[in-house]
Amino acid sequence: MREIIRLTTHTREELVDITEPVRRIAQASGIANGLVALYAQGATAALMIQENWDPSVPTDVINLLQKLIPRGVWLHDRQDGNGDSHLKAGLVGPSETIPLIDGRLGLSRWQNIFLCEFDGPRQERTVVCTVMRDVS
């Protein structure tokens, strides 16, 4: 089963919690055990599994990446000013895979799934969500 999650981002850099739409898609699949594969479409977005309890964690992630990969010093900035966005997205990565166990996402109590926006705001970001049945 494959569904597309569409969302809007509101700032240049932010982490957007997409756990609930992923959970709904997994439940709607009717698959009890398998994998949920997620893929962020776009060269300046990524996916991350991170703590969901303390709202400062996403801010800390953004702040760390801004320190590691500052704006305005990359060759690609000559094209469209977002060299840092491409590097951040490449470092974090475009995909995550989560086990589906007895019909539930195999996340811990403290984990959620985040789309990482590094070149927003965007009217539409898309995440491909594929749910696959365990064949064993």
- Whether 136 has a pLDDT exceeding 80, the answer reads no
pLDDT at 75 (0 to 100): 86
CA–CA gap between residue 106 and residue 19 (Å, rounded): 12
The HSE-up count of residue 26 (CA atoms within 13 Å, CB side) is 24
State percent of the chain over pLDDT 70: 100
At 42 the three-state DSSP class reads coil
**CATH topology for the 2-133 domain:** Jelly Rolls (2.60.120)
Q: Angle 64-107-120 (CA atoms, 0-180°, nearest 5)?
A: 40
pLDDT single digits (tens) 89-124: 999 999 999 999 999 999 999 999 999 999 999 999
CA–CA gap between residue 18 and residue 31 (Å, rounded): 20
Based on DSSP, count helices (H) and strands (E) in the chain, helices before strands. 4, 8
pLDDT single digits (tens) 50-95: 998 998 999 999 999 999 999 999 889 899 999 999 999 999 999 9
Give the global pTM. Answer: 0.95
pLDDT single digits (tens) 26-43: 999 999 999 999 999 999
CA–CA gap between residue 121 and residue 12 (Å, rounded): 5
- The overall average pLDDT reported for the chain is 96
pLDDT at 135 (0 to 100): 87
